[in-house]
């Protein structure tokens, strides 16, 4: 599948620090845990006077737009679909969910994940490389989901408001600065929120403990092994115990022995669970490595194909198929992928790569036949829809691509890859007005409101349809209002 390669490679090791307003700290002893939880404010009312849920969603939306424009957000339908599946499985088993969650990848080979207002959870590609199984990966997501459901950012901001005046603009400005310059961003954040004093450190400790407690429960309720949490964090702490510059996750989420012991006790109380090895997890991990982090040599993937473990074999062959395809060797890619498709012909990881192999070999009819068949079986699968639309556009059937993408965007209006494909499709059909309008929507999602308005005005110059002109005028007014609303918010 066509995926967006234009990811700016900013080092964002300070993102999670800024987003969670976390400070380096150590945990208190386990015996103090019960008293600490009694001291936590009531969930549901906490932070309500400081920031409403609606306002929190608007702030989250604003920051996500900026992040799309400045950070290496991955637009890969296969990885996005996998991450969404795991994340939503956890959300369905979480309490205090006040709005829809959105999960996204950042192409950063750093072990980290972060969450911010509005239900947005970002995952670095380096995280899945470190996780040994899906329960460990899901444990980190569950922890971040808990930070959101418990409104930890708002509660941190509310606590800081008692120490000095605080502006959302100052916090977000420091966050965005941290994307390009982590050290400057962190320094700006500390200045903005006045993050000094033992009271704030203690409050952050409570948040981490609360996120551990709730996250592990969510993990178990979703059918994962709750031991994934202590196993992952414990191994991370052991691995980097004496390293001068540990991963950002250990800076924003310190894991002293007391925390590891507490999470292990909680996990054992919930009961260990023998969860089968996940093929999709291994394939997602292989895809990240083969295409993005590129940290494993091909020789290691070849060794994986000779493993006694059938899932490991498939992951190794899948990675080699991607590497060959990306190196413009579609015939070699086909050799690696064919036995995988024979074993599992409806696997969307494999179908995605097979589509690109067919297109690279100029066997477009085979790609369309395969995807039409799969679309009939799974008309709501985003991987199938986006691949089908891309293959149609590449095969001079742009009208089919337009139809597929317009229907898809009704359900997923925030899909940048769908908007970019649709822009291409309209260009091929010579529908200039629709092309500029679609491009405007993609720009607006990246926070480029003025550029979006320019595109909509250009679209007006390419239509004689009065109803279309009125609709474009209405959309311009909406974008201007959105821009002013966000300015007023900050």
- Which among 229, 252, 270 is the end of a domain? 270
Q: What is the pLDDT of residue 3?
A: 55
pLDDT band at 251 (very low <50, low <70, confident <90, very high): low
In a domain, 4, yes or no: no
Average pLDDT over residues 328-346: 97
CA triplet 16, 21, 25: central angle to 5 degrees?
A: 95
Q: Which pLDDT score is estimated for 111?
A: 84
What is the mean predicted confidence (pLDDT) over 112-121?
84
CATH of the domain at 391: 1.25.40.10
**pLDDT digits 0-9 by tens, 274-319:** 999 999 999 999 999 999 999 999 999 999 999 999 999 999 999 9
Does 244 or 82 have the greater pLDDT score?
A: 82
Helix (H) or strand (E) holding 320: helix 310-326
Q: How many domains does the chain have?
A: 2
- Are residue 311 and residue 255 in the same domain, yes or no? no
The answer to whether residues 283 and 199 belong to one domain is no
Residue 351 and residue 260 share a domain: no
Residue 54 among the catalytic residues: no
Region 337-353 average pLDDT: 97
Same domain membership, residue 341 and residue 227: no
Q: How many helices (H) and strands (E) does the chain have?
A: 25, 3
Is residue 263 domain-shared with residue 346, that is, in the same domain? no
- The annotation places the binding site at 143, 147, 208
Encode pLDDT of 196-246 as tens digits: 333 444 446 777 788 888 999 999 999 999 999 889 988 887 766 655 555
My answer on whether 243 and 354 are in the same domain is no
Q: Which domain holds residue 439?
A: 279-489
Of 112-126, 250-264, 342-356, the one with minimum mean pLDDT is: 250-264
> Is 1 inside a domain boundary?
no
Is the residue at 88 inside a domain? yes
* CA dist., res. 54 & res. 72, Å (int): 27
pLDDT-based confidence at residue 21 (cuts at 50, 70, 90): very low
Higher pLDDT residue, 387 or 262?
A: 387
Whether residues 305 and 173 fall in one domain: no
pLDDT at 366 over 80: yes
Please tell me the predicted confidence (pLDDT) of residue 52. Answer: 75
Do residues 253 and 236 make contact, with C-beta atoms less than 8 angstroms apart?
no
* Residue 262 structure tokens: 């507490």
Instruction: Give the confidence band of 59 by pLDDT, cuts at 50, 70, 90.
Output: confident
Can you give the pLDDT at residue 13? 32
pLDDT of 323: 98
Average pLDDT, the chain: 81
Extended strands (E) in 85-173:
102-106, 113-116, 120-124
Q: What is the pLDDT of residues 407-451, one digit of tens each?
A: 999 999 999 999 999 999 999 999 999 999 999 999 999 999 999
Do 166 and 204 sit in the same domain of this protein?
A: yes
In a shared domain, residues 355 and 422: yes
Length of the chain: 490
The DSSP-derived string for 7-42 is: ------TTHHHHHHT-----PPPGGGHHHHHHHSPP
Same domain, 314 and 253: no
Choosing from 247, 270, 293, the residue where a domain stops is 270
Q: Which pLDDT does position 327 carry in this prediction?
A: 97
Residue among 110, 212, 352, 424 flagged as catalytic: 212
Residue 91 covered by a domain: yes
List the catalytic residue out of 61, 134, 144, 437.
Answer: 144
Residue 8 within a domain = no
Quick one: average pLDDT of 345-364?
98
The whole-number pLDDT of residue 417 equals 96
At 174-183, the pLDDT tens digits run: 544 444 344 4
Q: Name the domain boundary from 270, 294, 328.
A: 270
Q: Is residue 458 part of a domain?
A: yes
Binding site for Zn(2+), residues?
Answer: 143, 147, 208
Classify residue 5: in a domain, yes or no: no
The answer to whether the CB of 391 falls within 8 A of the CB of 402 is no
372 and 417 together in one domain: yes
Q: Where are the beta strands (DSSP E) in 74-233?
A: 102-106, 113-116, 120-124
Task: Check if the beta carbon of residue 419 is closer than 8 Å to that of residue 445.
Answer: yes
| Whether residue 253 is found in the same domain as residue 285 | no
Whether 121 is in a domain gets the answer: yes
**What span, in angstroms and rounded, lies between the C-alpha atoms of 221 and 139?**
12
Q: How far is CA 376 from CA 62, 85, 232, 388, 421, in A?
A: 37, 21, 40, 11, 21
pTM: 0.83
Kindly tell me the sign of the dihedral angle through the C-alpha atoms of 80, 213, 24, 155: positive
Q: Which two tokens stand for residue 425?
A: 């499709």
Q: Which residues pair with 102 in a beta bridge?
A: 120
Q: Does residue 183 carry a catalytic annotation?
A: no
């Amino acid at each position: 599948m066509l995926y967006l390669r234009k990811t700016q490679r900013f080092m964002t090791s300070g993102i999670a620090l800024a987003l969670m307003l976390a400070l380096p700290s150590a945990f208190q002893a386990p015996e103090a845990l019960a008293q600490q939880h009694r001291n936590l404010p009531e969930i549901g009312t906490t932070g309500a006077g400081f920031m409403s849920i609606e306002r929190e969603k608007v702030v989250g939306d604003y920051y996500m737009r900026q992040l799309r424009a400045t950070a290496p957000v991955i637009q890969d339908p296969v990885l996005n679909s996998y991450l969404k599946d795991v994340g939503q499985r956890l959300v369905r088993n979480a309490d205090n969910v006040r709005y829809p969650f959105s999960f996204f990848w950042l192409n950063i080979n750093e072990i980290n994940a972060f969450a911010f207002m509005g239900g947005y959870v970002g995952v670095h590609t380096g995280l899945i490389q470190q996780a040994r199984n899906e329960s460990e990966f899901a444990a980190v997501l569950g922890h971040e989901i808990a930070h959101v459901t418990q409104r930890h950012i708002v509660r941190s901001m509310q606590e800081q408001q008692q120490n000095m005046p605080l502006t959302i603009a100052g916090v977000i400005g420091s966050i965005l600065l941290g994307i390009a310059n982590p050290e400057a961003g962190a320094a700006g954040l500390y200045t903005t929120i006045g993050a000094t004093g033992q009271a704030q450190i203690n409050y952050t400790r409570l948040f981490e403990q609360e996120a551990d407690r709730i996250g592990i429960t969510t993990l178990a309720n979703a059918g994962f092994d709750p031991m994934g949490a202590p196993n992952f964090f414990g191994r991370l702490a052991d691995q980097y115990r004496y390293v001068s510059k540990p991963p950002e996750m250990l800076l924003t989420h310190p894991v002293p022995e007391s925390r590891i012991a507490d999470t292990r006790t909680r996990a054992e109380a919930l009961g260990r669970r023998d969860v089968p090895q996940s093929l999709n997890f291994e394939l997602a991990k292989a895809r990240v490595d083969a295409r993005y982090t590129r940290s494993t040599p091909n020789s290691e993937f070849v060794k994986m194909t000779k493993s006694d473990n059938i899932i490991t074999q498939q992951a190794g062959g899948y990675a080699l198929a991607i590497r060959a395809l990306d190196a413009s060797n579609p015939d070699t890619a086909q050799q690696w992928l064919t036995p995988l498709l024979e074993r599992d012909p409806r696997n969307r990881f494999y179908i995605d790569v097979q589509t690109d192999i067919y297109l690279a070999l100029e066997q477009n009819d085979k790609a369309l036949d395969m995807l039409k068949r799969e679309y009939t079986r799974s008309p709501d699968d985003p991987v199938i829809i986006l691949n089908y639309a891309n293959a149609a556009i590449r095969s001079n059937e742009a009208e089919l691509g337009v139809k597929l993408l317009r229907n898809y965007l009704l359900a997923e209006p925030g899909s940048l890859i769908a908007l970019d494909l649709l822009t291409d499709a309209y260009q091929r059909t010579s529908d200039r007005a629709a092309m500029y309008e679609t491009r405007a929507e993609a720009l607006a999602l990246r926070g480029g409101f003025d550029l979006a308005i320019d595109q909509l005005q250009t679209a007006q110059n390419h239509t004689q349809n009065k109803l279309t002109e009125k609709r474009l005028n209405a959309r311009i007014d909406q974008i201007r209002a959105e821009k002013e609303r966000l300015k007023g918010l900050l």
